[in-house]
Amino acid sequence: MKIVTSDVLPSLEEQGVRQLYSKGPNVDFKKELRSLNSELQLHILELADILIERPSQYARRIEEISTVFKNLHHLLNSLHPHQARSTLIHIMELQIKRRKQALEDIKRRREVAQRILNESLATLDGH
């Protein structure tokens, strides 16, 4: 049986937003989040600068800042499936542990019961 999870998060391209972080199957979330954060700070600084030098050029900076924010939120949203799978793995590990303990319990008690039974039968036969 093959297990798949289907993600319902539309990709950034589908929403018409430029994707700033590298694509590919395994995204290094922490690295990309941190680099997006730095890029954001840089853009805010540039905005402050351009408002001093050439205030009429603000629109492009605002658009870049907005793109960075959208990328940040999209990246964070795509962490949810990962989190869901991690939670599932954790729950399954706990369940297996519980069941194995129950198994040991049953085996032990059966052994004890068998022993008591044998002892009592031996006692009875002794008469």
Partner 1 sequence: MDIISQLQEQVNSIANLALNTIGTLQRDAPPNRLSPNYPEPPAHPTEDGANFSEEPKLMSASLVKAAKQFDVLVASLPISETGEEAQLKRIAELQAENDAVGQELQKQLEAAEMELNQVQELYRQATDNCLNLKKPDVN
The answer to whether 17 and 71 have CB atoms below 8 angstroms apart is yes
What is the C-alpha separation between 68 and 46, in angstroms, rounded?
14
What residues from 37 to 76 belong to the interface with partner 1 (CB under 8 A)?
A: 37, 40-41, 44, 47-48, 51, 65, 69, 72-73, 76
Q: Which residue has the tokens 């008469």?
A: 127
CA distance to 42, 80, 104, per residue, from 77 (Å): 23, 6, 42
| Contact call for residue 9 and partner 1 (CB under 8 A) | no
How many Cα atoms sit within 13 Å of 32 on the Cβ side? 20
| Contact call for residue 25 and partner 1 (CB under 8 A) | yes
Size of the site for partner 1 (CB under 8 A): 47
Residues that bind partner 1 (CB under 8 A): 1, 3-5, 25-26, 28-30, 33-34, 37, 40-41, 44, 47-48, 51, 65, 69, 72-73, 76, 79-83, 85-86, 88-89, 92-93, 95-96, 99-100, 102-103, 106-107, 109-110, 113-114, 117
